[in-house]
Amino acid sequence: MSNRAESVLVGLIGEGVMPSLTPPMHEREADVQGLRLLYRPIDLLELVLPATAVGDLLTAAQRMGYNGLNITHPCKQLVLEHLHEISDDARRLGAVNTVLIQNGRLIGHNTDFSGFGSALADGLPGATLDRVVQLGAGGAGSAVAYALLTAGVSTLDLVDMDPNRAAERAAELGGLFPEATVTPRSTEELSQIMPQADGLVHCTPIGMAAHPGLPLDIELLEPRHWVADIVYRPIETQLVREARAKGCEVLDGGRMAVGQAADAFQLITGREANRERMRAHFLELIAVEDAAAPELAKAAH
């Protein structure tokens, strides 16, 4: 029997992934658990490769002894055709963000939906889930909507600026969850549906540093509503801040970011991650970024 310490090699394939906080989260958690883990970003933009190169990168990673890969935009759908096996949830979602490399086989999973599911359970325990309004039905929104319906939401109102996307997503989800009611909605309908909702989930770019602002009229929120945001840069979006000020229970986007990372860590290493420890580290990383931002802005001038 070998005395060599167990080691794990992980990668992240996608565009613009160099600033991702997932690699340091995985490496810190592994360090605490006494596990050697190296997590490398594999940035398509840096490598000047198209998204369709994901299959070649999977083959290369397999040959070089990687244990697993995270997959992000724009490869979550493109990766499907290159896998030997796909989990039921990832297949139903039509997207994979975690690939295990085991015994020469590539096995796809989706921890975006499970990450939001655990975030909701941990961050808003006991939240009423009878009727939920979701803003945004894009890629991340699909995983969140799937998680909400898996968690037991009986009526989901999907609001999107693109009515065709909202209708397509609602039809897909309605087929997967026939016991639930999934309805496409326009932003103009928010004033009618919010008074009937228990909670609001936000899945658009509004609130990010590059897209500041609010995704809806804050007056539509009541203290009885719970509010979840998936934007985590900044961690305190205007929506989270103003909803909390109105007395709403809130869930910041960091919870989902940590949830998906913790689930991927467990799949790849076989070890359970300590979610609260990972969240504490995540908040440290965000705080360092926030502190560096003014200095970087000064240096740019």
- As annotated, the active-site residues are 76
φ/ψ of residue 153, rounded to 5: -60, 130
3-state SS assignment for residue 30: helix
Picking from 119, 91, 57, the residue whose alpha carbon sits closest to that of residue 252 is 119
The structure tokens listed for 10 are 């992980």
Q: How buried is 289 (Cβ within 10 angstroms: 0-12 exposed, 13-18 middle, 19+ buried)?
A: middle
The structure tokens listed for 4 are 């060599």
CA 121 to chain centre: 15
3-state SS assignment for residue 63: helix
The structure tokens listed for 233 are 């840069």
Taking CA atoms, 20 is separated from 3, 91, 115, in Å, by 33, 25, 16
Torsion of Cα atoms, 83 then 138 then 89 then 125, to 10°: 140
CA 24 to chain centre: 16
Q: For residue 248, how many C-alpha atoms fall within 13 Å in the half-sphere facing its CB?
A: 26
End-to-end CA distance of the chain: 59
Strand 7-14, strand 36-43: pairing = parallel
CA angle 52–56–61, rounded 5-degree value: 130
